[in-house]
Structure 1
Amino acid sequence: MAQGARILVVDDEPQIRRSLQVNLENRGYAVETAVSGEEALRSFTYRRPDVVIVDLLLPDIGGVEVTRRIRSSATVPIIVLSAIGDESKKVEALESGADDYMTKPFGTEELLARIRSVLRRAAGAHSARPVFIAGRMCVNFDRREVLLDDQPVKLTPTEYDLLKYLIEHAGKVLTHRMILQAVWGQGYLDQAQYLRVFIGQLRKKIELVPARPSFIVTDPGVGYRFCQDGDASS
């Protein structure tokens, strides 16, 4: 699906827009561009892209609102672009439905990898997979069983539910509040320290080196991401 996938790039900086268009088209993608949130929404309605890349700071309605409006009617992957220091805005965008974010300036190869990742997730979003394999880990959802190097791992019910939620959104940045609401419920939304404790416990059980995790990696100031390949550098 990567080759020929339609990408909508939304950014009011001409140089960034032009650079992204050239680099993406050179890799076989079909690219549409927009300079504002309203133009982006019109383009999305008529063009129906496979991926949306949107800057958070736009001259009119802004990237968070663009994300919210698109997500209200479609499941298309959305990658937000953010200037350094916009941590709160990145969190807001993710909680509004964005799938990933990148901080400016960023490398072309990293962006291409993120695009491939969201396209893979979109393609497999509706496929039922009772068994999940990531590197040395195997999870059987029907049995609630976790194996590492073919050896069973004893997880508490909450640890298992936390791991399952991370796996279900593998490759996607999940904010603290998103995880807390999904695993513990509405009453725990402000318990970030509570989540850190459970992430630490889970890492001790599934990571070769908990201090240098390869499965559950931290996105500073935002949340966590599960690396499906078991390689945090991928």
Structure 2
Amino acid sequence: MASFVKILVVDDDYNICELIRLYLEKEGFTVVTAYTGTKALDLFKAETPSLVVLDIMLPELDGWQVCREIRRISNIPIIMLTAKGETFDKVLGLELGADDYMVKPFETKELVARIKAVLRRYEQKSADVKEVVYPNLLINLATYQLKVNGKFMDIPPKELELLYYLASHPNKVFTREQLLQEVWGFDYFGDSRTVDVHIKRLREKLDCGEQPWELKTVWGVGYKFEVK
């Protein structure tokens, strides 16, 4: 699992970032680092990490603000780091949507163990729910239902599966070949234009005014579900 998992580590202390990176890369994780809140959000949108390790005391935007913004567009796991140990900070972090909380100084091995545990819980929860929710949009793969602006819509299974897959990976770009492989399966030998046709039909169903999300074409590459 680890080699396919990207972790975003955010701390204004370069040495802490490098120490965490060292331990995580030894475990096979891919790691990207940021030293300010603004850079953290930029990297989050560009790299689509699987988990964020987030310090509270950051320049430009603090960890609370970064956590709020991430939670506005994604439900991926967040582990908060801080030198503060007050109960108020722990409660606020959890209320904002953090999944775990560690107080500095901490044992790096314990942080790695918590990251693995949080990822396991998140993957299990995602597998059980099979539902993606955004403002004015609900996609449920368990019941094969699509709700847009409060109204359920008729939709063929493959269109729903394609939309669910893209929406489950917000802001991540997929080629047509990747989508054929992930949605249609390894044994599907269809033309890549099949994806284009399904995207066109999905856009017709989702064309209901301005929304904070859209199915977007990335010219020369493929498609992504963009969350603004």
TM-score bucket (shorter structure):
0.5 to 0.7
CA distance in 2, matches of 1:73, 1:83: 27
- Aligned positions of 1:77-96 closer than 5 A: 77-96=77-96
**Structure 2 alignment gaps of length 5 or more:** 130-228
Instruction: Report which of the two has the higher share of helix.
Output: 2
Q: Cα deviation per residue 1:87-134 (whole Å; 9 max; x = unaligned)?
A: 3222211100110010111112211111111111111113449xxxxx
CA distance in 2, matches of 1:128, 1:11: 33
Q: Distance in 2 between matches of 1:38 and 1:86?
A: 25
CA–CA separation in structure 1 for the residues paired with 2:17 and 2:105: 13
1:3 to partner: Cα distance? 3.4
**Deviation at residue 66 of structure 1 after TM alignment:** 0.6
| 2:40 is the alignment partner of 1:24 | no
Aligned to 1:73: 73
* d(CA) in 2 for partners of 1:109, 1:33: 18
**Mapped contact 2:2–2:27 kept (Cα < 8 A):** no
Whichever residue aligns with residue 38 of structure 2, its letter is E
Describe the superposition over 1:8-61 as per-residue Cα deviations: whole angstroms up to 9, x where unpaired. 000001110111111111111100000011100000001000010000100121
State the TM-score, normalized to the length of structure 2: 0.54
Name the CA distance, whole Å, in 2 between partners of 1:28 and 1:128. 26
Percentage identity across paired residues of the two chains: 45
Alpha-carbon distance, 1:86 to partner:
3.9
Contact 1:63 1:93 survives alignment (8 Å): no
2:48 is equivalent to residue 48 of structure 1: yes
> Quick check: 1:35 aligned with 2:55?
no
Q: How many residues align?
A: 129
3-state secondary structure, aligned to 1:17: helix
1:113 maps onto 2:123 in alignment: no
> Within 5 Å, which residues of 2 pair with 1:212-227?
none
Per the alignment, residue 182 of structure 1 pairs with none
Gapped runs of 5+ residues in structure 1?
130-234
Equivalences for 1:1-234 in 2 at 5 Å?
A: 1-128=1-128
So what's the TM-score if we normalise by structure 1? 0.53
